[in-house]
Chain A
Amino acid sequence: MNQWLDERLHISRLNDKFLRKAFPVHHSFFLGEITLFSLIILILTGILLALSYEPSNSMVVNSFDPGTSDAPNLIPAAYHSTLKINAAPFGDMLRRIHHWTANIMVAASVIHMMRIYFTGAFKKPREINWWIGMLLLIFAALTAVTGYVLPYDNYAYNTLKVIYSIAASIPWVGEWVAQAAFAGKFPGDGVIPRVYGYHIMLLPGILLALTAAHMLIMIKQKHTQPQYAKRIAYKKIVGVPLMTQQTPIMLMLALLFAGIIVLFSAFIPVHPVEYFGPPTTTPIENIKPDWYLLWVFGVLAIIPGFEFNFLGGNINSEFVGAILLPTLTLGLMFAVPMLDRSRENLYYAENPTNHPVRLGLGVAFMMLLAVWSVAGYKPELISAGILTTENANTVLWIATFLVPALSYFFVQAVVRGIRALREADERDRTIHAAHADD
């Protein structure tokens, strides 16, 4: 059969180009693969969920609790179909797998990104892939947020309300943008079909296209080589070929990963739609976004309220906290490859301790996001008595500046220690080597 296919499609040429691609042997190089596996699981479970989901926010009679003919119990069709999915065999399990995999995909891509940053793999010639990776991260988060809205329970409804008002807070064009994006004034009659279209067509399409570009560029430019490759064969690509050595490893990893997710989902429930109930005006206490957006939420919680008029546009704290500041933060991440001035192409992954400033700044940046995420728990911190209403904002703003600064200097101290140890080791080695020569 191979020959039959080869005569028609020339797959042996594909073999030379792609299937022999060398994969470096190091555990940190599996993070991107886990992200890819997550995307595949998400698409598969997403297709199954879409088969039973009804994308509509018109009201239908709740078949589980119909009420009376005089006062029927009406709930949105989308929420009703979510209840039905939960009641179907393994329906709840599918939702859990989809939800957990989405979380793990973002987590894996963030750790993948940390590996790229700390080993300098974003440097020339791989800047383009860093930018594509950033876009992937942003669109993955957007896909997750739109997915949050689809069950259309009370939680989703309140989340959507906040998202709508964030979009509407853009000066000059905000109200129009929010209405165009969410099909009319909140909650528009077509809001669920609209978000559904984003979640299952537009955003996954963008994600798949970006993923394809990410992979092709990676194959073209090749992985950065781990340090051991330098010792084995200088300036040669070292690693195991995709076909057949890397493939079984990948398959094993994918299956193991899928198994862990199923195990997770079997024991840890997610987003109990029955508990939250259908959309009402009664708010959910301590509503929070997923962990990867908690930092934006934290900024909104501690930013003081203000608004002023600028050239006819209204600039308020919500716009600054939820759009301007995150844009600046993401812009900083986009700019990372441009901060590096080297003209040479990078072959080998760098040891982070040889670049203490980059390491320190990266850690400080992550600590900043961590402080803002903690600020997202402001009401809990206050009710636990750790902070008071009066001092909460002050303390959290001081921490915003102090914690990253301290962690920067802490990293410098640790790096100095590590280097001192390494130099001592080298001295020892030369002394011993000298002895051995005698």
Chain B
Amino acid sequence: MTRYKRQDPEITRRKFINVAMGTTAAVGGVSLLSTLGAANPVFRLTADKMPPLEGDILVHAEASKEGRPITIDDLSTQLVRAWPMGKDENGADVIRKGDPNNILALYRFPKGQLVAPTNLEATIDGEVVAYSDICTHAGCSVSDSDINAGQMRCPCHSGEYDPKRGAVVTGGPPPKPLAQLPIRRDGDRLVVTGFFLTPPYPYHNNEAEWNNLKREVEEALT
């Protein structure tokens, strides 16, 4: 009687199935991840999405007079919202409202009221000043405060800014002041003379990304 000796295969059936299932799960998981990547569409920097640039003129953002250039007489100590208007690649006027974070806040104060840390060089005669109107906290559009006269207040989480002092934070959760935009006067019109002086929302905590954007804009223009 020959003794039957069971020969162990090199790999057991159970182990083979486990490994096969594990591999399938891993490959399947990774391929699912790639579809997740497709959920994030490519960003194209078109003219309407560029930040305010040198040479842009400021136009009204209010629905009833949108697109009409702002004159100095339109401005007061009450906030006026503005869009930058530039040219697209064909030379046609384009309001840069493809990125809602381009909305600007304009004020005109009697001479002497605007003080540091406002950059007075970047204002018009120390009277007219332009800020990003986007709260550095959660990206809401900031308004005039109805509680403390002369202050700006964000309706979302009650962040407060002082527009006479470089829009420094005077209350609430915002981490940074509003970014100031350098402007000059050209006849009746207000013209932008460069990028925001500090990174605006949402780049306020990421200077490198803001510089990247500026470089991309400059490349796109040349």
Q: Which residues of A contact B157 (CB under 8 A)?
A: 297, 300-301
Number of interface residues of B (CB under 8 A): 43
Residue with the highest number of chain A CB atoms closer than 10 Å, among B133, B156, B169: B156
Whole-angstrom CA separation of A368 from B156 in the bound complex: 22
Q: Which residues of A contact B133 (CB under 8 A)?
A: 281
Number of interface residues of A (CB under 8 A): 46
Q: Which residues of A contact B16 (CB under 8 A)?
A: none
Q: Which residues of A contact B202 (CB under 8 A)?
A: 165, 168, 175
Whole-angstrom CA separation of A166 from B137 in the bound complex: 9
Whole-angstrom CA separation of A39 from B174 in the bound complex: 38
Q: Which residues of B contact A158 (CB under 8 A)?
A: 140-141, 156
A65 to chain B, nearest CB (A): 12
Do the beta carbons of A389 and B148 come within 8 Å of each other?
yes
Q: Is A427 an interface residue (CB 8 A)?
A: no
Do the beta carbons of A307 and B147 come within 8 Å of each other?
no
Interface 0/1 of A327-370, CB less than 8 Å to B: 00000000000000000000000000000000000000000000
Do the beta carbons of A161 and B160 come within 8 Å of each other?
no
Q: Which residues of B contact A281 (CB under 8 A)?
A: 61, 81, 97, 100, 103, 133, 141
Q: Which residues of B contact A183 (CB under 8 A)?
A: 39-41
Q: Which residues of B contact A321 (CB under 8 A)?
A: 173
Contact residues, A286-329 vs B (CB, 8 A): 286-287, 297, 300-301, 303-307, 314, 316-318, 321
Do the beta carbons of B139 and A162 come within 8 Å of each other?
yes
A202 to chain B, nearest CB (A): 12
**Looking across the interface, which residue of chain A has its beta carbon closest to that of B100?**
A281
Do the beta carbons of B173 and A389 come within 8 Å of each other?
no
Interface 0/1 of B51-83, CB less than 8 Å to A: 000000000011100000000000000000100
**Looking across the interface, which residue of chain A has its beta carbon closest to that of B138?**
A165
Q: Is B172 an interface residue (CB 8 A)?
A: yes
A122 to chain B, nearest CB (A): 33
Residue with the highest number of chain B CB atoms closer than 10 Å, among A175, A185, A281: A281
A183 to chain B, nearest CB (A): 6
A170 to chain B, nearest CB (A): 13
Do the beta carbons of B173 and A184 come within 8 Å of each other?
no
Chain B contact residues, CB within 8 Å of chain A: 36-37, 39-41, 43, 49, 61-63, 81, 97, 99-100, 103, 133, 137-143, 146-148, 153-160, 169, 171-175, 202, 205-206
A-B contact pairs, 9 of them (CB 8 A): A185-B99, A280-B63, A281-B141, A282-B62, A283-B141, A283-B143, A286-B155, A318-B138, A382-B158
The 10 closest A-B pairs by CB, nearest first: A180-B40, A165-B139, A305-B173, A281-B103, A165-B138, A283-B141, A307-B175, A283-B155, A180-B39, A184-B41
